[in-house]
Amino acid sequence: MSEFMFSAIILAGGSSSRMNGINKQLAPLDGIPVVIRSALAFQRSDLVSEIILAVPAGERQFYADLCRQYFITKLKTTTEGGATRFLSVKNALAQVSGECDYIAIHDGARPLISTADIDRVLSAAAQHGAAIAAAPATDTIKQCSGGVITSTPDRSTLYAAQTPQAFRKALYLSCMEQLGSHAENLTDDSALLEQCGESVHIVPVTACNMKITRPQDIAIAEAVLQSITEE
C-alpha cells in the first residue's frame, strides 16, 4: 500500500452523443457495463483508497447500486456531472476525502485500462507531482488551417493523451484557483497544469486503452478482451 492516499475520480456523466442513443457507460462489454469495467480496474489497485463516480443528473443512486452489484467496495460516493468536464471534476473533488494526497481522473469510457498501467501513472504522479497515461502517435499528424496543411510535426515527439491523469491534490486545486472560469472549457485535465506552467510527465501505456465513442467501438473492445483472455 502506498504511503500516500490516492482518490480516483471516474467521469461517467457524458452525453454519449455519438452512440446513436446508446448510453456508452452502461453498454455491456462482454457482459459487464463499460463504466463498471473501468471502476473494477481501480478497485483492484492497491494504491487507490477510494472512488468517486461522476454520473448523469438524477442517476446517482442507480450507479451506486450498480457498483454494489459488482462489489466495488472502494466507492465512496457518486456525484452529478457538470456541464463541462472541468465542472464534473470540480463536483467530484468536493467529495474527495480531506486526507487525500493525490487524485486520479479517469474516463469511465476507457474500460480496458489495466490496473498495472493505473499503478504506473499513480506512482509517477507521486514522484513528479503530475503524470498522465499516453500513447505514442502512430499516424503522421498534420497541422491545418482552412482545410490546408500548414506543417507536419515530428511524430516522435507526439503522444495521444489518455487517462488516468493523476496529480498532487494541492497542486491541482492551486491551478484551479489560478485559472478560475478560464478552466471550464478545457477538455484535458493536464491542460489545467500546463496553463499554469507546471510540468506533467508522460507514462506510455502498455495495454490497449481505447475510448468508447461510437457503437462499433464496443465490438472492437470485446475483440481486445477476447484476445487478452486467449493469451
pLDDT at position 162: 98
Region of residue 197 (phi > 0: left; psi between -120 and 50: alpha; otherwise: beta): left
pLDDT of the residue at 181: 87
Query: In the predicted model, is pLDDT for residue 39 greater than 70?
Result: yes
Binned at pLDDT 50, 70 and 90, residue 19 comes out as low
The per-residue pLDDT for range 74-106, each reduced to its tens digit, is 999 999 999 899 999 999 999 999 999 999 999
* Structural domain spans, the chain: 6-230
High-pLDDT (> 70) share of the chain, %: 94
Here the cell at position 155 is 511524430
Q: What is the pTM of this model?
A: 0.94
CB-CB contact of 80 with 95 (8 Å) = no
Could you tell me which residues come within 8 angstroms of residue 139 by beta carbon, excluding any fewer than 6 positions away?
A: 155
pLDDT digits (tens, 9 = 90+) for 148-186: 999 999 999 999 999 999 999 999 999 999 999 888 889
Long-range contacts, stretch 175-184, CB < 8 angstroms, 24+ apart: 176/90, 183/86, 184/84, 184/86, 184/87
pLDDT reported for residue 15:
59
Provide the pLDDT for residue 182.
Answer: 87
Pick the more confident residue, 227 or 14: 227
Q: Is 139 helix (H, G, I), strand (E, B) or coil?
A: coil
Q: Map 177-215 to HEC letters.
A: HHHHHHHCCCCCCHHHHHHCCCCCEEEECCCCCCCCCCH
**Cα separation, 90 vs 177, whole angstroms:** 11
Those residues whose C-beta lies under 8 Å from the C-beta of residue 42, and which sit 6 or more positions away, are 8, 10, 48, 51, 74, 104, 106, 115, 118
Q: How far is CA 95 from CA 52, 54, 80, 151, 212, in A?
A: 7, 10, 11, 44, 26
pLDDT at 172: 97
Average pLDDT over residues 198-221: 95
Mean pLDDT of the chain: 93
Q: Answer yes or no: is pLDDT of 4 > 90.
A: no
- pLDDT tens per residue, range 119-147: 999 999 999 999 999 999 999 999 999 99
Query: What's the confidence (pLDDT) of residue 209?
Result: 97
Fold of 6-230: Spore Coat Polysaccharide Biosynthesis Protein SpsA; Chain A (3.90.550)
Confidence (pLDDT) at 1:
44
